[in-house]
Structure 1
Amino acid sequence: MRSSNSLYDPQAFNDALRRNKAVVCALSASYISTFAGYPLDSLKSRLQTIKTPITVPKLAAIVYREEGIKGFYRGLWIPLITISFVRTSCAASFTIYTRTKELASRHDFLNRSSALDAALVGGMAGAMAGSLISFGSAPFELVKVRRQLEYSIAQARGLHIEKPPGTLDAVREIFRVNGIKGLYTGFRLHFIRDTSGTALYFMEYDGMRHLLGRDRSGEQGATPPWLPIHSSLVPFVCGSFAGVTSWALIYPLDVVKTKVQQRALAGERYRGPFETLSRLIKGPDPNNPKPLLAGVTRIYRGLGVSALRSITTHGLLWTFFDLVSNYIDALPQ
């Protein structure tokens, strides 16, 4: 029996967890997966913007030698705050995704028990989530890119920095040069990337979860004979697959976005996305273009480390999401 002097009411706490299940699951899982994958994300951004090919281990060694272990986690609090901001509000990605699916179910829209319907509903819910949260996440990601590429931006400006400025200093510098609109540099590309990428991601995830035995009510059944894995591994497999494949499809767009933002932050002449993409593929000299294969390789530089990051972060994300979800479902009424 609860003490009359106790401020903690287990039943009220459990009820609050059930009411905010989507947010609690997404927030706890996102913190763990983001921290685990952030060093790989930092290396990915660097690989996208450097002009000379370099292996991931060599780049990691350079970062460690010049910046120490902190170099891999520079700007980490930006995505962590982004997670808190966009996933604990009513406009949070997982909340929008979940509520959109619930709305489709209530109106019996694409509600057949098929992988196609599950994928289409997931894709629409993902597009809605990605487009809405992009307005809140764009400034955070721009500052993250600024922090990750601090040294290359300084080099483009002809500057040498002994100690990179802090995150707040980076925000002040962006705001000083371009005002509030500076925080939305490259927003159109960010919006397109997030909308299309999140739609593809949830479409693939929900479609594959259905194929691997989850029904439309959310209950996980037996896995099919062609992939006889334990049911506890299904979230990791589906999350990893969706993360890697959706990211590979939109990767060129992310490279262009990062390059456009880097040039803007360095104060260099603006190049549009198509001009940026053309120069990345063909090279800076139109009279002496690179071979097509070399250009495509340049576009996909960093995809390997990005794929590894996706496997880690998205696999862990959905694994912990399901673990927390099952824990909340098992709470006493």
Structure 2
Amino acid sequence: MDKFKTVVNMASMQTNLGCTLVALLTAGGEHIFSSVVFSCPCNGLNFVYGLVFLLVPALALLLLGYIVSRRTWKLLTGVWRRRAELCRCRRLAAACVVLFQISAGALVAPSSWIAVALLNGNYFECAMSGTNVSFYNKRVCGDQEPGVQCETELHRIPCRVGSSVPPAVREDVLLTLRAQSQILGWILIASIMLSNMLLSCLVRCCSPISYLQLKFWRAYAQEENSLMDSHVTKHAKELADRNLQSFFDQTPPGDLKTPSSHDWMKISSLYKFSSKKLYYSMLHQYVENYEETDNGRMKMASVKSSESADNNPAVLDFVDGGMMTM
């Protein structure tokens, strides 16, 4: 249970509750894998088998972090149509900043997996007992008389059976491997917490708005995302109901205004911060800058600013939404 307390402490450094839950769920998944699924083969596959369990789930969690992020799909959707704009240095730099922000959130789960796995030690023991590096094997087995025998049968030690190595030497080797694994785990945890604290301090120091306005902005973004989901569902239902009624009744469809593809693209793009005209989201910018045409529809007004709108501070990355429902 100590490793779970460690993950709780590491997760508490995250300002996003979703990141904390992801870290805790990852720790629980690692415990299940280590207890139920993992079984070191104690042969020449030790190194590969141990690394696969240590790194491949972390890679899968990293990819999952990218998949469930709204900002990933906002950045990628329609990118080929915007490739001419992305070729500009400032646009490309802004896209790289967004990608870095997405990666920072996606790294929570894989780093938690690796940290908990190293504290547990099972994967590391299996992997390092299968190494063919003679220098490392000598360091692990020691200089005692049964050291040569330990080096030749090192791959059998994690299973504690089928080995002629004396039990005392075998336990010493396992303790050494586990100690090395836990040292690496604590170093990783300390690095994550330190880098997260420094990055959070840097981001807050560069915040373009005050603490209370940032708190209000987060509340607004959460409410807008929630209401957007309900309005999209409601409007889609009304449109589907109108079309079906028109089809079955064989009557002309009723008038139902639906945003155009251009309108959808305007509010679906990544948020661009501008201190000259402060908008809380792309939707907010859209409704504040429109002209009404003769038929009563909205038309985007020409919004010009001498200040670049590509600067999106990391502290405002919540505007585009963190996670999405797949």
| Structure (1 or 2) with the greater helix fraction | 1
Please give the TM-score of this superposition, normalised by the length of structure 2: 0.28
Structure of greater relative contact order (alpha carbons < 8 Å, 6+ residues apart): 1
**Which structure's CA Rg is the greater one?**
2
The TM-score normalised by the length of structure 1 is 0.28
